[in-house]
Amino acid sequence: MIESSQFAERVQAIVVQIPAGRVMTYGQIAAICGNARAARIVGGIAHFSNPNLPWQRVVNKQGGLAAGYYGGRSGQKRDLEVEGVKVLGNKDNYYVSIKKYLWSPIHEV
C-alpha cells in the first residue's frame, strides 16, 4: 500500500503514464503533482519507489539522465534508445533532446 505518501503515489502514477519514446522533467512532474518546487522530491521518490516504474523516461530540465539510476546511466541510456529515444553525450554526461521528447500527460489524456 503506498498510502504513506500521496505525493509519491501521484508522481509514480505520472511516471507510469509516460509513453515509450517520450521523456518528462522532474519539475514538470512536480508541478503536475501540485508542487512545482518539489522537483527534488520527485527524484527522492524515485530513489526508494518501485524500480518497476520507467524512471528512465524521467530526466532533468537539461535533458540529462538521472544520476542514481538502477545500474547507472549506461542502463538508462540503453533503455531510452530501445524505446526510440536518441541519447546524446558521452558516458560522463548523457542527455536527450528534451525539446523533441518532452511529453506532458495533460496534453494527451
Partner DNA sequence: CGAGTGACCGCAA
Partner DNA sequence: ATTGCGGCCACTC
- Residue 38 C-alpha cell reads as 518539489
Q: How far is CA 6 from CA 42, 55, 89, 108, in A?
A: 12, 18, 35, 23
Name residues contacting DNA, limited to 36-75 (CB under 7 A).
37-48, 51, 55, 58, 60-62, 64, 66-70
Q: How many residues bind DNA (CB under 7 A)?
A: 33
| Binding residue (CB under 7 A) for DNA from 1, 3, 4, 91 | 4
- Rounded to whole angstroms, the Cα distance separating 22 from 80 reads 9
Binding site residues, DNA, CB under 7 A = 4-8, 25-27, 35, 37-48, 51, 55, 58, 60-62, 64, 66-70
